[in-house]
Structure 1
Amino acid sequence: MNIEQIYREAGAYLQGHFLLSSGKHSQFYLQSAKVLENPTLAAKLADELSAVIAEFGVNYDSVCSPALGGILAGYELARAGEKRFIFTERVGGVMSLRRGFDVKNGERFIVCEDIITTGKSALECASVIESMGGVVVGFAALANRSFCKLANIDGELKSECKIPANKPVFALGNFEFEIYEPDDCPLCANGSEAIKPGSRGN
């Protein structure tokens, strides 16, 4: 499965000057919503991701995603694996579990994102689960931006990755873009303003 081709054909491989959820800047952005707006394609991707996780023998009871970006990918992964699905969301800037969702003691979770960059949001989601007695057995995403090392695709673990090295990370492909700290961003130096994806119609 050529995940880069899928993103390009869906018009989801954007070029500009973007402020990522990690706080870093990039010339490129993967707009997963454009991929996931097609239910048939979303199901196909989730089925493939579920099969990859199963191939590695990771047993889990449920899937949890951080809102908003991870919800569709996580829900589809749960459907593919016939698991329960819940999601966390930020309340006053703090990742929280709401809406009557609960976590059983010892319940095993895959934390699923649409895209893993540094894994910051995924790790916050995992921390909520673990604080309630759950066990996070792995992380998954449609695509990985090459900071975190995947269990199923060769690559290097980079220092920016927030996900613990002892937890497997699964994705359907790697994307390697230049990502900059705001104070060291050549796009900013050229007078361009970073746009938060989704804030101006992108």
Structure 2
Amino acid sequence: MSWSLQEAIERTGVLKQGHFLLSSGRHSAQYMQCAQLLQYPHDAGKAGEAIAELFRDEAVDVVVGPALGGVIIAHEVARALGVRCLFTERKEGVMEMRRGFAVKPGERVLVIEDVVTTGGSVKEVIALLEEMQAEVVAVGSIVDRTGGHNPFACPYRALTEIKIESYTPEECPLCREGIPVVKPGSRTPAKG
């Protein structure tokens, strides 16, 4: 039986319904929780293989993913490409490479995230890698929520594009209905 990302997203309950405060500070009635997919090693591996195929010709030396959402999928992409995998994490709000991880000047890096909306976390990772003089060759993700706009200065490819409407808190119809807002994910929302 062949693997389908759309089937896996539906089967694992990735798309959540409710009233969510996004890391951008905007509100939405839907939220993509790719951890629901990535909890299954078979699905994580298949998604990693599919993303790796999008970048097979990039001569990647290392894959880097931001914690928390990018860690598992970056690892699976690195496994499929046969290269090492590192991750970055925030310490006191600043993206850092810790745990003895390092990239060498000139290493070709593929940055992988689970979902890209504004690209904020990935941009922080790219800035950190550029400070280390690595060459960021591309960005990849499972889900593209950018609305077709590449927010990066390098190529960006995703396995699927999903459009989810979002609102400023002032224009949010869910707030007007008095539905309590929930903050999913691991990133602190932007200040409005």
Tell me the TM-score normalised to structure 1 length. Answer: 0.85
Give runs of ≥4 in structure 1 deviating > 4 Å: none
* Residue in structure 1 matched with residue 151 of structure 2 by the alignment: 162
Secondary structure (helix, strand or coil) at the match of 2:140 reads strand
Of stretches 1-10 and 109-118 in structure 1, the one that deviates more from structure 2 is: 1-10
Distance in 2, matches of 1:28 and 1:142, equals 17
* Residue deviations 1:125-164 (CA, integer Å, cap 9, x gap): 11111111111110011111133xxxxxxxx32xxx6323
Distance in 2, matches of 1:50 and 1:73, equals 10
Asked whether 1:113 is paired with 2:113, we answer yes
Secondary structure (helix, strand or coil) at the match of 1:173 reads strand
**1:163 counterpart letter in structure 2:** F
Q: CA RMSD in A?
A: 1.6
Shift of 1:2: 4.7
* Residue in structure 2 matched with residue 130 of structure 1 by the alignment: 130
Going from structure 1 to structure 2, the CA distance change for 1:59 and 1:182 (only over 3 Å counts) comes to: farther
CA contact (8 A) 1:7 1:30 kept: no
Distance in 1, matches of 2:43 and 2:29, equals 26
* Residue in structure 2 matched with residue 98 of structure 1 by the alignment: 98
Match of 2:180 among 180, 188, 193: 193
Unaligned runs of 5+ in 2: 187-192
CA contact (8 A) 2:8 2:43 kept: no
Distance in 2, matches of 1:22 and 1:2, equals 29
Shift of 1:18: 1.1
Instruction: Within 5 Å, give how 1:1-202 maps onto structure 2.
Output: 2-54=4-56, 57-147=57-147, 156-157=148-149, 162-164=151-153, 167-198=154-185
Unaligned runs of 5+ in 1: 148-155
Secondary structure (helix, strand or coil) at the match of 1:172 reads strand
CA contact (8 A) 2:20 2:27 kept: yes
Shift of 1:21: 2.1
Tell me the TM-score normalised to structure 2 length. Answer: 0.89
Going from structure 1 to structure 2, the CA distance change for 1:4 and 1:179 (only over 3 Å counts) comes to: farther
Distance in 2, matches of 1:51 and 1:168, equals 14
**1:185 counterpart letter in structure 2:** C
Of stretches 183-192 and 170-179 in structure 1, the one that deviates more from structure 2 is: 183-192
Q: How many residues align?
A: 184
Distance in 2, matches of 1:71 and 1:21, equals 18
Between the aligned residues of both structures, percent identity stands at 41
**1:144 counterpart letter in structure 2:** D
Distance in 2, matches of 1:198 and 1:176, equals 18
Shift of 1:179: 1.4
